[in-house]
Structures are given as C-alpha cells and as structure tokens.
C-alpha cells in the first residue's frame, strides 16, 4: 500500500509542475495588466521557470543520491508550495518572477528525483507501468493547466493559479513523508563551475533570443547570444576536466541509455505545437482562453487513458516500438497543424491534439522507463536528473524558438502581443503570421524526426537481466 501511495505522491508532484507550466501561459495577459508590466518583462514569468528547472535538475538529482531521494523530493513539495503562495501575493512583476524562480527550484527538486524514486520503488520489469502513471501525472497536469488557466483567468483571477497549489502541496507533503522511502544513499559531489557556466550560457542565449521578439534583431541581442554560446563552449570544456561534472560520461556506456536520453532531448526541443496552437486559437481565431483550452482537452484525455497501457507494453517488449510509434503519431499531429489556415474548421484542432496526445502518452512512459532501466548501477539519481535536464533544456529551447521564429513575418510587437493573447490580427497580416507559424512547425517536424530515428535505432532491451550483469 505504501508503495502505491508513494507512486501517487510522485504522480501528484509531476502533475503540479505540469499545471504551472501551461496555466500561466493563458494568464499572462491579465498578469501584464494587473501588475502594470510590459510584455518583454512579463514573458520572463514563463522563461525563468523553465530556465531554473532546466539548469538545476541534474545537480538536485545528486542531492537525492547523497541525502536520500525521499527527503529531497518531499522538500521539493514544501519549496514549491511556499513559492506558489508567495507568487500569488506578488505586488509587482519582479516579485512574481523571483517567486516563480523559487517555485521552479521546488519543481526541480521533485522532477530530478521522481524517476530515481520509481527505480527505488519498483523492479526493472515493473517500472514501465509506473512510468506510465507518471506520464499521466504530467499529461493531466498540462491538461488541467490549460483548463485551470482558462477558467481561473476568466472567472476568478490569475493569483488563484498559484493558490490552488497550497492545499495540494500540504497534503502531498504529509503523504510523501509517511510513504516514500528511498534506497541507499551514495556520496556524491557537486559541479559548481559547471552549474554556473551552464546557467550563464542558457540565460544569455535565452534573453537574447526572447528579446529579439520584442525589439527585433540588434547588435546587443546578437552579442548576448554569441556570448552565451561561447560560455556554453566553456561549459563543455569545464565538464571534461572537473572530477564530478554535471554531464558525467560514465553514464554514457550503454547504447539504449544514450539513444533514449537524446531522443527525449530532441522530442522536447522539437514539439512546439501546443505553444503555436494557443497562439493560433487566441491570436488569429479570436477564441477566449477557456474556449481555446477546451479544444485541446480531448487529446490530453485520450493520452492519459493510453499511458498506463503503454507502460505495461514497455515492460513486456521494451521501449523501442511504443516510443517510436508515439513519435510517429506526434509527427502526424504536426503535419495536421501545418495545414492550418485562418479558416480551417476548428475540429481539425481536436484531431491534431488527439494524435499528439496519443503519441506523447506512448513516448514518455516508454522512453523514461528505458533511460532508468538502462542507467548504470549506482547512478539512478544522476540519470534521473540528467533525463529531466535534457528534456527541460529542450523545452526551454523550444519555447524560445516558438516565439522567435513565428515572429519573423510580422512586426515584433504584434508577434509578442499575439503570443500573449493581447492582440487579434486579421486579413493579410494573419496570413503572414500563419506563414511564420507554419515555418516553425516544419522545423519542429524535422527535429522530431531526429528523435524518432534515435528511438528506432536505440537497440533491444532485456529487463529481466540486472544492469550490472549485462
């Protein structure tokens, strides 16, 4: 019973982080107006959350290895809940961005250790089912985030997007303390130079790229991006020399592990469709946040139903077939999105969302299970954190690509206003903006093809044989 309750708490944590990834997107217009902000600043309410989670997940996985994953995971619930409460009380946009960073730190504590906790709780031949349920958690969270963002923004107020986390966080923390027990601890060390250089590299490149959407291409933004890329090169150089790097090459000794990890990265970087469809529905078709969210729900609901079965299938036959099939369905969904025009019937949105939702619910539990089932012994926490880091960096890149590429066909201020739902465009300008969205989706398609090839050629698994005996 405690194992099942522990799984429930892990799923709940991922659901909460999923909610706060999508719900805030729909609330950005109200936040901008209520806190008397400008659009260039408000967008960092989203970016800071993705940035902190992307950078911190590997290091915080090591916290779990050293001090006990259950302790770190439950601490994450506390930090996330406190950050949520403070975010709801923000008096200005800078306070909100700061509290979102705190909230993201709590989310990183949970995300970095969730996969390793599953590995502690379940044997290798049962983890696929468990990862299926964790996939439901994040998928359900993303669904609820879209619905919650639409409903709360429309009828109550954006503050309550954060306040709803408080009672859930308190209950989940109590349940987690009682029911989640982690395995043996392993003394690990932390890579401070790598952490600082990675944070600097991602911050500068993200700021420069996001700022292009607001003010256009100029020497300052180009300099930021170039500097960030240079520091990224320094980060790679540092990782080859330090004793305990963020990216430890010792974990890259198994083909299935490597290919599964990079499949996760490219899938996260390539699958931009949800972001674009929100822009399309609100900015071009003129739908309210609530109406836009309702069109996306069927895909998430069907995906949530598929995920447990995909996990069980993975336990029986390995990850290659279900994960690759999932990516194929996601590619089909992207192709449907690329056919959209300013007059496309809205039921096509439902078709595309079902394809994408079904595909993601096949891919995530299978691929996550493959990473953890093939992680080197003694590196579960590091491998779990590395999985989340790769996926989160991919998500951060995808977000920046989404708002940058789609904005190149219209005036920059119009693009950002469309993205935030503050401006509805029609006629020839809408057609041009659709061209930008379509171009970005083609790039999305190409990147996901790379993920599918990695998934297809990852190799076969034998989960009945422990990793240290393969």
CA–CA separation, 128 and 365 (whole Å): 6
pLDDT of 325: 94
Query: String of b and e for 220-231 (b: at least 16 CB within 10 Å)?
Result: ebeebbeebeeb
The answer to whether the CB of 109 falls within 8 A of the CB of 63 is yes
* Sequence-ordered list of residues with C-beta below 8 angstroms from that of 17, at least 6 positions apart, any chain: 53, 80, 107, 110, 111, 138, 141
Which tokens is 182 given?
């982690």
Question: At 116, is the secondary structure helix, strand, or coil?
Answer: helix
pLDDT of 182: 63
CA atoms within a 13 Å half-sphere pointing along the CA-CB vector of 338: 16
CA–CA separation, 229 and 466 (whole Å): 40
Which tokens is 188 given?
């690990």
Q: Report how far apart the first and last C-alpha atoms of the chain are (Å, whole number).
A: 32
Place of tokens 């891919």: 363
For the chain, 470 residues long, give each residue's pLDDT as a single digit of tens. Answer: 466 777 888 888 888 887 887 788 777 778 888 888 877 788 888 889 888 888 887 677 777 777 777 888 888 889 999 999 999 999 999 999 999 999 999 988 888 787 778 777 777 667 666 766 666 666 667 667 777 777 887 788 889 889 988 998 898 888 888 877 766 666 666 777 888 888 888 888 888 877 776 666 778 888 888 898 899 888 888 877 777 777 776 677 778 888 998 999 999 888 766 666 776 777 778 787 778 778 877 887 787 778 778 777 887 888 889 999 999 999 999 999 988 888 889 889 899 989 988 898 889 888 888 887 777 766 666 676 677 778 878 877 887 777 777 666 666 666 666 655 555 666 666 777 777 778 888 888 999 999 999 999 987 776 555 555 55
The answer to whether the CB of 35 falls within 8 A of the CB of 44 is no
pLDDT of 378: 65
For the entire predicted model, the pTM comes to: 0.79
pLDDT of 267: 92
Q: Determine how many CB atoms are found less than 10 A away from the CB of residue 200.
A: 17
- What stretches of 122-250 show up as alpha helix (H) in DSSP? 127-155, 159-163, 165-179, 192-215, 219-239
CA–CA separation, 141 and 114 (whole Å): 15
Place of tokens 């700022």: 211
Q: Determine how many CB atoms are found less than 10 A away from the CB of residue 40.
A: 15
């Amino acid at each position: 019973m405690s194992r099942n309750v522990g799984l429930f708490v892990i799923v709940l944590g991922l659901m909460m982080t999923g909610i706060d990834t999508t719900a805030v997107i729909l609330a950005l217009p109200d936040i901008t107006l209520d806190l008397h902000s400008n659009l260039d600043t408000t967008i960092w309410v989203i970016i800071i959350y993705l940035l902190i989670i992307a950078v911190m997940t590997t290091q915080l996985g090591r916290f779990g290895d050293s001090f006990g994953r259950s302790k770190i995971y439950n601490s994450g619930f506390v930090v996330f809940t406190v950050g949520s409460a403070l975010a709801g009380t923000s008096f200005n946009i800078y306070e909100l961005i700061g509290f979102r960073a705190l909230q993201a730190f709590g989310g990183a504590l949970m995300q970095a250790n969730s996969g390793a906790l599953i590995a502690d709780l379940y044997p290798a031949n049962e983890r696929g089912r468990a990862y299926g349920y964790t996939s439901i958690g994040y998928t359900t969270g993303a669904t609820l985030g879209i619905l919650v963002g639409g409903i709360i923004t429309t009828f109550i107020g954006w503050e309550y997007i954060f306040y709803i986390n408080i009672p859930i966080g308190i209950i989940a923390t109590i349940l987690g303390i009682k029911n989640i027990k982690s395995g043996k601890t392993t003394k690990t060390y932390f890579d401070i130079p790598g952490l600082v250089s990675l944070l600097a590299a991602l911050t500068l490149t993200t700021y420069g790229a996001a700022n292009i959407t607001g003010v256009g291409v100029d020497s300052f933004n180009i300099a930021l991006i170039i500097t960030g890329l240079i520091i990224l090169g320094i980060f790679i150089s540092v990782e080859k020399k330090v004793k305990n790097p963020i990216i430890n090459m010792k974990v890259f000794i198994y083909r299935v592990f490597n290919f599964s990890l990079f499949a996760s990265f490219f899938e996260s970087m390539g699958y931009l469709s949800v972001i674009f469809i929100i822009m399309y529905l609100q900015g071009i078709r003129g739908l309210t946040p609530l109406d836009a969210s309702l069109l996306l729900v069927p895909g998430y609901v069907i995906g949530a139903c598929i995920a447990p079965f995909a996990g069980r299938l993975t336990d029986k036959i390995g990850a290659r077939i279900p994960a690759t099939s999932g990516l194929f369905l996601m590619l089909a969904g992207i192709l449907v999105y690329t056919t959209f025009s300013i007059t496309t019937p809205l039921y096509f949105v439902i078709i595309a969302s079902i394809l994408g939702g079904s595909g993601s619910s096949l891919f995530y539990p299978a691929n996550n299970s493959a990473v953890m089932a093939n992680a080197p012994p003694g590196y579960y926490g590091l491998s779990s954190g590395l999985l989340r880091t790769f996926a989160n960096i991919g998500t951060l890149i995808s977000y920046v690509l989404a708002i940058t590429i789609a904005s190149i066909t219209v005036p920059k201020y119009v693009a950002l206003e469309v993205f935030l739902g503050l401006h509805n465009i029609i006629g020839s300008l809408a057609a041009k903006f659709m061209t930008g969205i379509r171009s970005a989706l083609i790039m999305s398609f190409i990147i996901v093809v790379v993920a599918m090839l990695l998934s297809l050629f990852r190799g076969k698994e034998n989960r009945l044989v422990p990793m240290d005996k393969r």
